[in-house]
């Protein structure tokens, strides 16, 4: 199965390893917390972390420079405990210096490489809305460990 951001083979994402659950690909599971954010301002405050965790695990969506930029921004924001407003400001500044962030190669032709991640969007989806804040914070901590 192929959609905008992911490729599932035999019920598993070929990049992050997330399993298909309830018939949803990892990208489709990712849309659930995006909707949940609209119900909870505290959850919405974690939007950068939710999106960056998911995107770091799916590098085929970016140019090499774009993915490196995302990892750098994530790492600096995490290590320096930046507030969301400052993260967004730094994002605007850095993006203006990069030629192309998103991968221009058509989705079906992108090279995808599997990497094992101890946490994926599966953990957020299965934890459901009431545990989303806790689980996204755990996910960002785990991603940071994996990036060391």
How many CA atoms within 13 Å lie on the side-chain side of 133?
A: 9
**Which band of pLDDT confidence, cut at 50, 70 and 90, is reported for residue 148?**
confident
DSSP string across 3-38: -SS-BEETTEETTT-PBPBTTB-HHHHHHHHHHHGG
What is the DSSP-derived secondary structure letter of residue 20?
P
Handedness of CA 33, 38, 41, 47 (dihedral sign): positive
CA angle 67, 95, 5 (to 5 degrees): 40
Bridge partners (DSSP) of residue 9 are: 12
Q: Could you give the maximum distance between any two Cα atoms of the chain, in Å? A: 41
- For the stretch 28-80, pLDDT in tens is 999 999 999 999 999 999 999 999 999 999 999 988 999 999 999 999 999 99
Q: Where do the DSSP E strands lie in the chain?
A: 8-9, 12-13
Residue 21 Rama label (left phi>0; alpha psi -120 to 50; beta): beta
Instruction: Please check the confidence at residue 2 and state whether its pLDDT lies above 70.
Output: no
Between 84-95 and 47-56, two packed helices, what is the crossing angle to 10 degrees?
50
- The rounded percent of the chain whose pLDDT value lies above 90 is 75
Distance CA 94, CA 96 (A): 5
Distance CA 52, CA 58 (A): 10
Rounded to an integer, the average pLDDT of 69-96 is 92
CA angle 5, 9, 147 (to 5 degrees): 55
């Amino acid at each position: 199965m192929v959609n905008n951001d992911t490729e599932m083979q035999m019920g598993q994402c070929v990049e992050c390893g997330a399993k298909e659950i309830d018939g949803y690909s990892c990208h489709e599971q990712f849309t659930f917390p995006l909707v949940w954010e609209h119900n909870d301002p505290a959850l919405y405050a974690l939007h950068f972390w939710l999106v960056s965790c998911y995107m770091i695990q799916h590098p085929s969506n970016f140019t090499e420079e774009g993915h490196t930029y995302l990892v750098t921004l994530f790492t600096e924001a995490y290590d320096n405990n930046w507030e969301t407003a400052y993260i967004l400001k730094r994002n605007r500044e850095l993006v203006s210096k990069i030629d192309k962030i998103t991968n221009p190669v058509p989705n079906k032709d992108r090279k995808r490489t599997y990497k094992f991640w101890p946490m994926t969007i599966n953990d957020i989806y299965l934890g459901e809305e009431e545990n989303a804040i806790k689980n996204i914070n755990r996910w960002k901590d785990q991603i940071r460990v994996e990036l060391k």
